[in-house]
């Protein structure tokens, strides 16, 4: 890799109380790289990606995002955390939209509050991204009036309105009815085609095969194996990886 990584995770260890949830994590992500993270439930996937925008703190190791040091023995200034959160968008399994706000208001809130955009500027950006996720006609509805797939696309648009350099997805299709999975994956594919740096926790292995540059397999808080999808699926090296793939494929 010749370019500087946009995310650098070095020797990270993290505990919840006595329980070690992440062990010796090292991961460099290149700008524009698309990574799929998979592994059994409880293996630390969510914890790992939540560390990247500091929804979780780590007790040991270093995390650097676009040159901003997020961790320094567990301490990072509010300034660094704010700076990183401006660059990193996140989409969760449960869409986490504000139920009392319209789709448009959900999308304009953060840009107005933290970027200081005017209503008109924020509306314009929001409509641009609602078009990108193909639901501009839903702008004035409330989340409860939308399908799950539409709500998740709003959540993606809302994150994009902050013009992040990196998007983190934590099982974005796991809460959806099967017929809505594809519309959300298609939106993510569009983002990938536009060159977005993406880390996606997902068990959608079709998505991994067609979009990922690299698949990372986690078990028991460790990165057990990582490879380009063609190698990962054709010749998984580790017994735990084979077991996992045997269960989900």
Between 38 and 70, name the residue whose CB sits nearer to Mg ion: 38
Residue among 32 and 40 whose Cβ is closer to ligand ADP: 40
Cβ within 8 Å of residue 116, ≥6 positions away: none
Q: Does position 43 bind ligand ADP by CB under 6 A?
A: yes
Q: Does 241 bind ligand ADP (CB under 6 A)?
A: no
Find the angle CA(169)-CA(117)-CA(31) to the nearest 5 degrees. 35
Which residues in the 23-42 window bind ligand ADP by CB under 6 A? 39, 41-42
**One-character DSSP codes across 163-198:** --SEEEEESTTTTS-HHHHHHHHHHHHHHHHTT-EE
Q: Which of positions 182-201 make contact with ligand ADP (CB under 6 A)? A: none
Given candidates 5, 44, 89, 148, which one binds ligand ADP under the rule CB under 6 A?
44
DSSP 34-73: EEEEE-STTSSHHHHHHHHTTSS--SEEEEEETTEE--BT
Q: How far is the CB of 61 from ligand ADP (least distance, A)?
A: 16
Q: Which is nearer to ligand ADP, 119 or 247 (CB)?
A: 247
- The DSSP bridge pattern shows strands 60-65 and 68-69 to be antiparallel
Residues that bind ligand ADP (CB under 6 A): 16, 21, 39, 41-47
Binding site for Mg ion (CB under 5 A): 46
């Amino acid at each position: 890799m010749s370019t500087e990584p946009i995310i650098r995770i070095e020797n990270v260890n993290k505990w919840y109380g006595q329980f070690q949830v992440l062990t010796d994590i090292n991961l460099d992500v290149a700008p524009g790289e698309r990574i799929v993270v998979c592994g059994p439930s409880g293996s630390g996937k969510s914890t790992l990606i939540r560390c990247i925008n500091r929804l979780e703190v780590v007790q040991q190791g270093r995390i650097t995002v676009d040159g901003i040091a997020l961790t320094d023995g567990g301490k990072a200034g509010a300034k660094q955390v704010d700076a990183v959160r401006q660059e990193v968008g996140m989409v969760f399994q449960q869409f986490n939209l504000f139920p009392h706000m319209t789709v448009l208001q959900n999308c304009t809130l953060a840009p107005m509050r933290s970027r200081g955009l005017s209503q008109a500027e924020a509306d314009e950006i929001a409509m641009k991204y609602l078009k990108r996720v193909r639901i501009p006609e839903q702008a004035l509805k409330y989340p409860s009036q939308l399908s799950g797939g539409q709500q998740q696309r709003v959540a993606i648009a809302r994150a994009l309105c902050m013009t992040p350099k990196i998007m983190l997805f934590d099982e974005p299709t796991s809460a959806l009815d099967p017929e809505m999975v594809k519309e959300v994956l298609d939106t993510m594919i569009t983002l990938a085609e536009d060159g977005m740096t993406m880390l996606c926790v997902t068990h959608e292995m079709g998505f991994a095969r067609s979009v990922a540059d690299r698949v990372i397999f986690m078990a028991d808080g460790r990165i057990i194996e990582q490879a380009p999808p063609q190698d990962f699926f054709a010749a998984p090296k580790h017994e735990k990886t084979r077991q996992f793939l045997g269960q989900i494929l």
